[in-house]
Chains A and B, each alone.
Chain A
Amino acid sequence: MKDIIKLIWITFENQMKSLILNFAIIVFFIIYFKSSMKSTEMFIFSMFFMILFIIPYNLVSRMVFYEDKNNILLLLKILPLSKKKISIFRISYVLSIYIIVTLLFAVGILLFRDVFTNSYLINLMILIFIDILTLLLPFVILLLTEYFEIMTVMQIARFIPLVLFVIIFIFNKLIKNVNPEIFNVSNAVLLFAIFFIVDIGLVFWIHFKFINRRKWY
C-alpha cells in the first residue's frame, strides 16, 4: 500500500507546476472579470467555474494521460506490480480527484456564502459542479477499462460546461430583466439530466464505435 500512496503522490507532484499555472490563469480571470463585470456574483461564478473546469481536467488528463503516449498506465504495466495493486491505484487515484474537486467546491461555497444571494446562481453552481463530475466519467471509464478512445469523448465533453457558461453569460448580459425563476431547481435538474445524458451518450457511442480497436493495454 505504501508504494501505491507514493505513486499517487508522485503523480500529483508531476503536475504541480501546471496546477500552479492554472491557478495563475484563474487569478488573471478574476482580475479581468472583476473590472468588466458589474455583478460580484458573476465574478465569483466565473472564478468557481474556472477552478472546477481546469483543475479536474489537469489532474486527470495531463497527469495520467500526458499526450496520450506517455502515461502512468503504461508505467504500471511494466513495473513489478500485481494486478490487484494496479486496480487499487486506479480506483484510489480517481477517488482522490473526486474528493479534491468536491472539497474545493465545498470550501468555495463556505468562503463566499454571503455572496450567493440569488438562488438561481447557487442552482447553476451546483449544476456545473455536477456536470464537472460527470465529465470525469470518461476518465473513470478509461482508468477502469483502458479504452483510450474515451479521451476523444473528453475532448468533446469538456466543452459542454464552457458552452453552458457562454450561454448563461450572454443570456445574463443581454436580457437584464430575466426572471430568476427560470433558474429554479427543477430546471437545473432538467439541464443536468440533459448534460448527463449527452456525456454518457458520447461515452457509449465512442465505446461501441471503437470497441476493441486500440485497446492496447
Chain B
Amino acid sequence: MSSYKNKYFLLAKIHNKFYNSLMWKLRNIIKKYPDFILNIENLSGYSNEIIGFIGPNGAGKTTTINILSGLLKPDSGEIEIFGKQTESDFDANIYNNIGYVGEKHGFFYELTIKKNLDIISSFYNNWDKYFEKTLIQELNIDVNKKIKDLSKGNLMKVALLCALSHKPDFLILDEPTSGLDPLIRDKVMKILIDYKNSKKCHIFFSSHIIEDFEDIADRLIFINEGKIITQFDKNEYYYTENKIENIKTIFESKTFYVITKDIFNSLSEEKKSLFSSISLKKLAVKILKDFEIERYN
C-alpha cells in the first residue's frame, strides 16, 4: 500500500514538474462563528505558482489557511488536495508533500532547535538533510538554541526551515514575514522564489502587508469579511473608473476596472489615457475600500 502511495506521489511530482496542474481546490466552504462567517465558493491553486492572499485583519485569511491545511474542519464544503478529498479520502501521506507555517507553531519549547528538527524530520520520508543544512546557513539559525529562547522572527525562521526541509510541492504560509526584520524578510522572499522556481511547486501565502507580494506573487486573491472579493495576476496594475466598451476585463466591479499590462499595451493612446497606473498597495486599498463602500451603500 505504501509503495503504491509513493508511486502516486512520484507520478504526481513528475506531472507537476511539466504541467501547471491543479494542486488544491476549495468548494462551497462555509465556516460559521457567532460573529463571523467564512464563505468560499470556489478557490483553487496550481503548481508553479505563488498565490498572495491579501486581506485586512479578521478578513478570514487564517481561517481559510487553517481549513486548507487541515487544522480546521469547515461546517460544510469540499477540500481537495493533490486530487484527493481530505475528508472522505484522507491520506496522511499527503502531509509528506505539504509544508505549513502558521501563526502558531508545534514545537517542543524546552528543547533545542536541533532536537526539534531530529524529531520532526523522523516523521517525514522525504526529509532532505542537505537542504536542511543549506537553509540553516542561509537563514543564519543557531540550532543549539532552545525554541523558548527564540524571538518571534527567529521562531518564524525555524518554522520556515521545518516547512521547507522535506521539499514539499505545496507550501502554506500564514503571514510568514511577520516579525522579520527587512534583511531577513528579503532573504526569506528570495528563498521562496528560488524554491518555487526549482521545484515548480505551489505556494499559498497570506499577509496583510501588501509589499510582501510586490515581487513574488503570481496571483493575488483578495478576501474581506469572509468572502473572496477578487483575484488577478500581479501585472494588472492599470485601472479606470469609466466603463470602457470592448475591452476584456479580467476583474470587473461596479466601481472600477482593472486590466492586464498586455491589454493596456495593445490599447490606442486615446484609450490608454483613460487608464491610470496604480501601485499594488494603492490598488489593494482601493479594492478593499470600494467593496466596503459598495456593501454598505
Contact = CB atoms under 8 A, between A and B. Distances in A.
Query: B-side binding surface: helix, strand, loop or mixed?
Result: loop
A77 interface: yes
Contact of A66 (B96, B102, B109): B109
Interface stretch (A7-15, A29-37, A115-123, A178-186): A7-15
Given A74-B71, A78-B95, A78-B100, A14 B66 contact: no
Chain A: interface size category: 20 to 34
A168 interface: no
Interface in B107-129: 107-111, 119-120, 122-125
Given A15-B110, A80-B124, A217-B71, A212 B33 contact: yes
A17 to B, nearest CB: 6
B92 A216 contact: no
A49 to B, nearest CB: 25
Interface of A: 3, 6-7, 10-11, 13-18, 66, 69-83, 85, 212-213, 215-217
A80 B90 contact: no
Contacts of A79: 95, 120, 123-124
Contacts of A80: 92-96, 123-125
Query: A-side binding surface: helix, strand, loop or mixed?
Result: helix
B98 interface: yes
Contacts of A85: 92
A76 B122 contact: no
A18 B110 contact: yes
B125 to A, nearest CB: 8
B33 A10 contact: no
A83 B90 contact: yes
Interface residues of B, number: 33
9 contacts: A10-B111, A16-B110, A18-B110, A74-B106, A77-B71, A78-B98, A79-B124, A80-B94, A215-B73
A17 B95 contact: no
Contacts of A82: 92
Contacts of B66: 216
A216 B72 CA distance: 5
Nearest to A217: B71
The 9 closest A-B pairs by CB, nearest first: A75-B106, A74-B106, A80-B95, A14-B108, A82-B92, A79-B123, A69-B104, A78-B100, A14-B110
Given A80-B123, A83-B90, A11 B108 contact: yes
